[in-house]
Amino acid sequence: MKVVVNVKLKAGVLDPQGKAVEHALSSLGFEGVNSVRVGKQIVLDIDESDKDTLKKNVESMCEDLLANTVIEEYEIVL
């Protein structure tokens, strides 16, 4: 089954990449962009059909490796 994990910096943690994109958009003339946050998307294909088990497994993956929960938050999309 395919699982998507979205990892992004927590609100309040400065995102240098987001800031750079924000400046670039502004200098290209795109108006009205209040802020930009850049994250990463990790797409997993896992041999597991039970959704609860799958979610639990992916949560462990996020806590152990995929995100650094000191500064990042994650969202699991089944």
Partner 1 sequence: MKVAIINFPGTNCERDTQYAFEKLGYKTEIIWHKEESINADLIVLPGGFSHGDYLRTAAIAKFSPIMKAVVVHAKKGGYILGICNGFQMLLELKLLDGAMNRNLSLSFISKYHHLKVVSADNKFLSCCKKDEILNIPIAHGEGNYYIDSYNLNKMYDKGQILLKYCDENGAYENPNGSVDAIAGICDKDKKIFGLMPHPERAIEAELGGVDGARVLKGFIC
* Distance of closest approach, residue 35 Cβ to partner 1, in angstroms: 16
- Does 26 bind partner 1 (CB under 8 A)? Our answer is no
- Cβ-in-10-Å burial (0-12, 13-18, 19+) of 53 comes to exposed
Q: 32: phi > 0 → left, psi -120 to 50 → alpha, else beta; which?
A: left
We find the least distance from the C-beta atom of residue 20 to partner 1, in angstroms, to be 6
Return the structure tokens found at 70: 């000191």
Residues within window 45-74 making contact with partner 1, judged by CB under 8 A: 65-66, 68, 70-71
Contacts with partner 1 by CB under 8 A lie at 9, 13-14, 16-17, 20, 65-66, 68, 70-71
